[in-house]
Amino acid sequence: MLSIILPTLNEEEGIVETLSQINELDLDKEVLVVDGLSTDNTVENAKKMGAKIVIEKRKGKGVAMATGVQSSQGEFIAFLDGDGTYPPKYLPAMQELAKKHDVVVASRLLNTEGATSSLHTFLHYHLFPLLLKKFYYGKFETTEPITGMRVMRKNVWNKLNLKSNNFFIETEMEVEMAKRRMIVAEIPIPCMKRIGQSKWDFSWKTWIQITKYARENETYLKKLNVVRYRNIETSRCVISYKSSKTSAKAVKLQDANLNLTANHHP
């Protein structure tokens, strides 16, 4: 079973769209919305969509993710945000890839499809990565180290032994994956505009801490084994992947050919 974990805080609009897409997936799954005391209708809307609600009074995305894992029943766990920026239709194939890789990450920067479709996507998926390439993004083997869409077995999460309580969690996860020489599959997803107001703390203090942490662990980060699946063909009923053999600086690409099918409701 796949446990789909969505940390939320005031996502009353985005959670409806996200859960609607999740409910269409033909998967053995459970859906957990871990809510950080939203003051809008996030919880009520999620209940109407059939999600299991877990209330987390402590602040921080990292705390919410850990609470979701503790409350989950599945062998596999998936993380994505409830703001409409991550397409759930890729979850079935990501789960299949997680059977052959330690962690599967979805990147909007691998193909940058839709990066210039709006001011929001241009800033977040084109301009900011370009400006921060030298100080942050360029130090990682995955193309979008802060992606919030990841799938792995629950025992892999436990091995990572993550400590971060906030948005630092994704960067720490990248470092811990590298330290443990894990094999990571990376797939491209389109850039989509978020629904509602962003909760990301885009302060200089936060970025200074994150970039310092990445710089201190750069030696480990270069050892991460990343398998990039660049070419994705999707239809209503089938998602198939073929891995890329295109080399990239300091990235170890395995020679792999994999055909996966994931059924969806019509």
Predicted pLDDT at 170:
94
pLDDT tens, residue by residue, 163-220: 999 888 999 999 999 999 999 999 999 888 888 776 655 567 777 888 899 999 999 9
pLDDT tens, residue by residue, 52-73: 999 999 999 999 999 999 999 9
Residue 244's pLDDT band, with cuts at 50, 70 and 90, is very low
Among 22-26, 55-59, 101-105, 112-116, whose mean pLDDT is lowest? 112-116
Per-residue burial over 142-157, b if 16 or more Cβ lie within 10 Å, else e, is bbbbbbbbbbbbbebb
Mean pLDDT across the stretch 241-262?
Answer: 37
Predicted pLDDT at 12:
96
**What beta strand segments (E) does the chain contain?**
2-8, 29-35, 52-55, 76-79, 103-107, 150-153, 183-188, 225-228, 231-234, 239-242
CATH architecture of the region 2-242: Alpha-Beta Complex (3.90)
**Cβ distance 92 to 262 under 8 Å?**
yes
Give which of 49, 63, 50 is closest to 9, Cα–Cα. Answer: 63
| 242 compared with 252, residue with greater pLDDT | 242
pLDDT tens, residue by residue, 7-56: 999 999 999 999 999 999 999 999 999 999 999 999 999 999 999 999 99
CA distance 46 to 112: 30
Per-domain residue ranges for the chain?
2-242
Mean pLDDT across the stretch 141-160?
Answer: 96
**Which residue matches tokens 């996200």?**
18
Predicted pLDDT at 226:
95
Predicted pLDDT at 169:
94
Question: Does position 261 have pLDDT exceeding 50, yes or no?
Answer: no
Contacts of 86 (CB under 8 A, 6+ apart): 18, 80, 106, 148, 149, 189, 192
Predicted pLDDT at 242:
44
- Amino acid identity at 19: L
- Note the pTM of the prediction, 2 decimals: 0.84
55 strand-pairing partners: 35
Three-point CA angle 56, 189, 195, nearest 5°: 50
Percent of the chain clearing pLDDT 90 (strictly above): 63
**Cβ distance 253 to 247 under 8 Å?**
yes
Predicted pLDDT at 251:
33
Give which of 32, 8, 226, 4 is closest to 95, Cα–Cα. Answer: 4
Give helix 169-179 / helix 61-71 axis angle, nearest 10°.
60
Question: Does position 259 have pLDDT exceeding 80, yes or no?
Answer: no
Give which of 125, 89, 84 is closest to 108, Cα–Cα. Answer: 125
**Cβ distance 44 to 16 under 8 Å?**
no
Three-state DSSP at 154 gives: helix
Predicted pLDDT at 132:
65
CA distance 182 to 180: 5
CA distance 153 to 200: 27
172 strand-pairing partners: none
**Cβ distance 97 to 179 under 8 Å?**
no
- Amino acid identity at 98: A
Residue 120's pLDDT band, with cuts at 50, 70 and 90, is low
Residue 240's pLDDT band, with cuts at 50, 70 and 90, is very low
Mean pLDDT estimate for the chain = 83
CA distance 210 to 55: 28
110 DSSP 8-state letter: S
